[in-house]
Structure 1
Amino acid sequence: MAELHEGSKKDRTGVELFAGAGGLAMAVHRAGFRPLLFNEFAKRACETLEANVARRLPDDQRPTSAPGPGERVPLIAGDVQNLDMGYLAGQVDVLAGGPPCQPFSLGGVAKGDEDKRNMFPQLFRAVRQIQPKAVICENVRGLLRPSFKRYFDYIQRELELPFEERAEDTNWEQHYESLLERREEEPDDPKKRYDIVMMPVNAADYGVPQIRHRVIIVAFRRDLNVDRELFKGLVKRTHSETALLRSMEEDGDYWKRYPSVPDHVRERVIARLPKTMPIDDGLLPWYTLRDAIAGIGDNKPLPDVPDEWLDRTEHFLGGFTEHIGWPGARIYDGHTPNELDRPAKTVKAGVHGVPGGESVMLLDELVADEATPGSVRYKHRYMTVRETARVMTFPDTWELRGPRGEKMRQLGNAVPVALGEVFAKAVAAVLDEAEERQK
């Protein structure tokens, strides 16, 4: 449980659905919410949760009461549709989860609400059962596509009025119109109505060394009268590309941190800087892939993987687990690598392997280019699982279970811990403020 919490002032509680590898769960509980329940469907992700923080219950067993402080978190492995959470009613401060995003992903089949993998209805059912004080929901930016706009509006209205259940013989568009009408009426019970904040975000703007565009929806139970403007102020971005570019000028702080970077690398990066540098915005620089590998915060530098260790074998480089070399990395049109001096590209969970080169990176070393005699190119290789976990801001102590492909899938489906933590801490702060105000 050490990775899940930093001493909270109050005994706040949380439930995590669609928990995956535990990124959002870790973020929420670092913000001071004691976990009462995890649910996850994927086998390997369940193994990861069990290896780190959870006590997996037998398939025929369901909890009947909430765990106490210090007790291991119960994990229900399986379909959320078979999970009854009514026993937690009135005991949960925050319900968190990212319903499976494939229906809305730019890289998915984009069937939207017609896709059976759409688990938003199960999130709304959980809200009805436990009536949490707040809900944190993360999903892909694909929800903002014009083709999904009306349905995304419908999702937000359902989260506002989760107790207005959709009749079985009613399609979503009919229910949407009904919700719009009910929304204009004062609720009989404000505990059954929620006020929401929806924000498109780029994880790089919140201290994550990765370009990752997502949508975060946060809902607050209306009877609490939470200050949503205060919340918005607490989740403003803290890092920027402008600050990174300015730090990369000839005598910039970025190069002072990395004096051993070869001249040809530094010159290549500086040559691509804007001729007219943007005005200082007062924010911190985006973190880069080099920052992630060198170690952000208390993380120690990851050692490079020697050529002879690109063999799928765990060599425990520097004592780090899951830092395993993998052969066969290629670069070609449409499959371009990460560069060390930029935030990493979006970590993806590809169904048939990861497209686009997101798991490949360029190194600092120049080697002979066999395709063009007499010329050189930058050496490249696959990123290790541990390097990818750092890009997702998972701690080095967090164990991932399963073969390499499954570990990468778990990371691609996860919420970056640093991003989730910003929003979870803001939720905790405004709940504290609201409760103090109501005393």
Structure 2
Amino acid sequence: MKSIELFAGAGGLALGVEAAGFENVALYEWNHNACDTLRRNRTQHGWEVVEGDVADQDFRPFRDEIDLVTGGPPCQPFSMGGKHKAQNDKRDMFPQAVRVVRDIRPKAFIFENVKGLTRRSFANYFSYIRLQFSYPTITAKRGEEWMSHLARLEALDSKCSFRGLTYKVIPRLFNSALYGAGPGVPQRRERVFFVGVRSDLGLEVNLPTEETHSVDALLHDQWVSNVYWHRHKLKVPTVPEKLARKVERLQDYNRDMLGTACRTVRDAISDLPNVGPGRRSRSIPNHFFNPGARSYAGHTGSPYDQPAKTLKAGDHGVPGGENTLQFADGSVRYFSIRECARLQTFPDDWIIEGSWTEGMRQLGNAVPVKLAQLVAESVAGTLKKAGNV
């Protein structure tokens, strides 16, 4: 099964798609540092990396030759931390994503973005994105405003009689701490996915509905059986007062019924050495600690024994209080780039190129590899079962 990725960034989605059984034919990305990251690591994957604006590329030669098109259009127009301009932001690349689907006619597509896209103020544009993917050949007329185009698409959708190129599209919001392949994702990162399958294939879009990982299972391991602390060779701490009632309720639960525990920051990074502020590990790539971390009101670090908070890219550099580890005594330090890569479930041999700020930006914009894999596996399974690949 062949795939093409747009807006590839540091490669999180591409790695997940590859792990699900797809062959990435080409990755398109405009950011030079992200392209350096992809090129640095491509020898082990054989990917073609195309540096440049997707809007300048002709994808028609790939028509009917590609099974899957994927990508993460720039999230700044919809990010909770951004300027919230959505369709009025020149960085909105969803129209280009639709164009590529129209030109290639893949069997399926996967596009992902930030949770902010689902907020109420973007409701109409969210519907507009879904309907454009559903009817990619019904384009806006010259000079037509997007709301007028949306109205035409809604009218067409209500008739259910269009016989041209269409896709069955499912939008779904996933919390990566609760949904992830294999060991899971040690980060509470929420991403919205638009997943579509070409209508003429007669297939249904089947996305994961059952959580793969459980917060209750983690709490049981920590505060009921204490196996979490024993595994990390730590003294069992006192149950936090705010969790006391929930822990008491969990006493009556059969642990086997709770499923797989969510992963924590400690689970992900505790085996990495503490190299000290301003120092770099000689044996582990991208592992060095920048000094100067501190918390801000509403922007505190990630507790060591919970899934991490959402890593952020920052508009003008690394967010001061966001990409930090918070210890039990309240002190914080910045995560290293390697630690952030682990929180995003990149493999340890995946090297991030660029400065510390640029590396953190790439990882702050990435989709967790294991979340991408879970979603891509559902698409791969759909196509394989129907014998369409």
Smaller-chain TM-score bracket: over 0.9
Q: Which residue in 1 is equivalent to 2:211?
A: 237
Choose the corresponding residue for 2:162, options 184, 187, 194.
187
Q: Which residue in 1 is equivalent to 2:264?
A: 288
Contact 1:327–1:382 under 8 Å retained in 2? yes
Cα RMSD after superposing both structures: 2.0
Distance, in Å, in 2 between the alignment partners of 1:378 and 1:176 is 49
Distance, in Å, in 2 between the alignment partners of 1:74 and 1:220 is 25
Contact 1:385–1:404 under 8 Å retained in 2? yes
Q: Which residue in 2 is equivalent to 1:27?
A: 16
> How does the TM-score come out when normalised to structure 1?
0.82
Q: Which residue in 1 is equivalent to 2:41?
A: 52
Q: Which residue in 2 is equivalent to 1:226?
A: 203
Matched, 1:138 2:127: no
Name the CA shift for 1:328/1:236 in 2 (closer, same or farther; >3 Å).
Answer: same
Q: Report the Cα offset of residue 378 of structure 1.
A: 4.7
Distance, in Å, in 2 between the alignment partners of 1:337 and 1:252 is 24
Q: Which residue in 2 is equivalent to 1:210?
A: 187
Contact 2:293–2:320 under 8 Å retained in 1? no
Unaligned runs of 5+ in 1: 1-11, 55-69, 295-300, 365-376
Distance, in Å, in 1 between the alignment partners of 2:178 and 2:28 is 29
Q: Which residue in 2 is equivalent to 1:75?
A: 49
Greater RCO (CA < 8 Å, at least 6 residues apart): 2
Distance, in Å, in 1 between the alignment partners of 2:146 and 2:337 is 41
Choose the corresponding residue for 2:281, options 310, 315, 318.
315
Choose the corresponding residue for 1:305, options 275, 282, 296.
275
1:295-341, Cα deviation, whole Å (9 max, x unpaired): xxxxxx211233xxx12x4332xx21111021112234334221110
Q: Report the Cα offset of residue 169 of structure 1.
A: 1.6
Contact 2:170–2:194 under 8 Å retained in 1? yes
Letter in 1 for 2:285: T
Choose the corresponding residue for 1:200, options 169, 173, 180.
173
How do 1:5-404 residues align onto structure 2 when only pairs under 5 Å count?
A: 12-53=1-42, 72-183=46-157, 184-189=159-164, 192-206=165-179, 207-228=184-205, 231-232=206-207, 234-259=208-233, 261-262=234-235, 266-267=237-238, 270-277=240-247, 282-294=258-270, 301-306=271-276, 310-311=277-278, 313-316=279-282, 319-355=283-319, 357-363=321-327, 377-404=329-356
Q: Report the Cα offset of residue 245 of structure 1.
A: 1.4
Name the CA shift for 1:71/1:321 in 2 (closer, same or farther; >3 Å).
Answer: closer
Letter in 1 for 2:37: T
Letter in 2 for 1:21: A
1:14-69, Cα deviation, whole Å (9 max, x unpaired): 00000000000111111111111110011100100110117xxxxxxxxxxxxxxx
Contact 1:393–1:416 under 8 Å retained in 2? yes
Distance, in Å, in 2 between the alignment partners of 1:333 and 1:151 is 32
Task: State the secondary structure of the residue aligned to 2:332.
Answer: strand
Letter in 1 for 2:292: G
Aligned sequence identity (%): 41
Q: Report the Cα offset of residue 237 of structure 1.
A: 1.7
Q: Report the Cα offset of residue 149 of structure 1.
A: 0.3
Task: State the secondary structure of the residue aligned to 1:326.
Answer: coil
Name the CA shift for 1:276/1:400 in 2 (closer, same or farther; >3 Å).
Answer: closer
- From the CA coordinates, give the structure whose radius of gyration is larger: 1
Letter in 2 for 1:20: G
Contact 1:227–1:434 under 8 Å retained in 2? no
Choose the corresponding residue for 1:430, options 369, 376, 382.
382
Task: State the secondary structure of the residue aligned to 1:143.
Answer: helix
Task: State the secondary structure of the residue aligned to 1:181.
Answer: helix
Matched, 1:420 2:384: no
Name the CA shift for 1:200/1:274 in 2 (closer, same or farther; >3 Å).
Answer: farther
Distance, in Å, in 2 between the alignment partners of 1:330 and 1:103 is 27
Task: State the secondary structure of the residue aligned to 2:25.
Answer: strand
Distance, in Å, in 2 between the alignment partners of 1:248 and 1:72 is 42
Distance, in Å, in 2 between the alignment partners of 1:78 and 1:252 is 51
Letter in 1 for 2:131: R
Letter in 2 for 1:29: E
Distance, in Å, in 2 between the alignment partners of 1:52 and 1:72 is 9
Task: State the secondary structure of the residue aligned to 1:87.
Answer: helix
Contact 2:318–2:360 under 8 Å retained in 1? no
Q: Report the Cα offset of residue 405 of structure 1.
A: 0.4
Distance, in Å, in 1 between the alignment partners of 2:373 and 2:209 is 10
Distance, in Å, in 2 between the alignment partners of 1:396 and 1:195 is 37
Q: Report the Cα offset of residue 271 of structure 1.
A: 4.0
Task: State the secondary structure of the residue aligned to 2:144.
Answer: coil
Contact 1:334–1:356 under 8 Å retained in 2? no
